[in-house]
Amino acid sequence: MTRRPRIPNLGGAKAVLLHREHASIDMLIRQLRAIGLEIEGAWPELPAATADADFLFFDVDHGFDEQFPWRPGEAPMPLVALIGSEAPGRIEWALSLKADAQIVKPVGSAGVYAALLIARRAFDERRRLEGEIADLRERLDQRRTIVRAVAALSGAAVGEEQAYAQLRALAMSWQVTLEEAAHHVVALKNREVAHERPRRA
């Protein structure tokens, strides 16, 4: 049976509201306070303390790339898009930032709590997947390095199986992992190749 993730307690969380003071978001502010969030407003620039925020709400209608001190998709917290206009260009811009949830303006009497939970879950899941992808890429790079090291150790008199066994023996004698031994072998081979290259006159 799959265990469902628990709904987090949002009381005391900090939300930054990147939006001009406007009646269209008054209900949003009231709902956030009722949920128990601390709110900090900002426009048009984000304060340095934003990096410590738990959520960032941003205005899709008047927002622009330079407002964010990180590259699109690399926000350090969940993003909630506040959408008033459904112009395709504005929606595309919000999507490019990888908003984790959205709320339509003017904000109504419901939907803010759901948006917070959805944004939190989507952000955490995206971070988890990014971590898995980074781990898989690292493991793939290590495999490639092992293949290169085996190729460097093998030759006319030494087959691949013997070269792999030699690499394992080197790792044991150096008291390092197989991957670290492979990196060392490849580095030594590269230095040898560089040393053997004829120098230009």
| pLDDT tens per residue across span 24-58 | 899 999 999 999 999 999 999 998 878 889 999 99
Q: Domain limits of the chain?
A: 14-130, 136-196
Report the C-alpha gap between 139 and 118 in whole angstroms: 31
Q: Of 65, 86, 81, 61, nearest to 123 (Cα)?
A: 81
**Percent of the chain at pLDDT exceeding 90:** 46
The residue among 189 and 195 whose pLDDT is bigger is 189
Residue 130: its pLDDT value, please? Answer: 87
Residue 201: its pLDDT value, please? Answer: 46
- Which of these CATH numbers, 3.90.1170.50, 3.40.190.10, 3.30.465.10, 3.40.50.2300, describes 14-130? 3.40.50.2300
pTM for the whole structure: 0.72
Enumerate the β-bridge partners of residue 58: 18, 81
The residue among 75 and 200 whose pLDDT is bigger is 75
pLDDT over 70 at 200, yes or no: no
pLDDT over 80 at 67, yes or no: yes
Residue 60 banded pLDDT, cuts 50, 70, 90 = very high
Residue 3 banded pLDDT, cuts 50, 70, 90 = low
Residue 51: its pLDDT value, please? Answer: 85
pLDDT tens digits, residue range 113-170?
999 999 999 999 998 998 899 888 888 888 898 888 888 888 756 788 888 888 888 8
Token pair listed for 161 = 């199986």
Q: Could you give the C-alpha distances from 172 to 168, 181, 183, in angstroms and in order?
A: 6, 9, 14
Q: Of 112, 113, 136, 125, nearest to 5 (Cα)?
A: 125
pLDDT over 70 at 198, yes or no: no
The residue among 26 and 5 whose pLDDT is bigger is 26
CA-CA-CA-CA torsion sign (5, 18, 28, 11):
positive
Are the C-beta atoms of 147 and 167 separated by less than 8 Å?
A: no
- Which of these CATH numbers, 3.40.190, 1.10.1760, 1.10.10, 2.40.50, describes 136-196? 1.10.10
Calculate the average pLDDT of the chain: 87
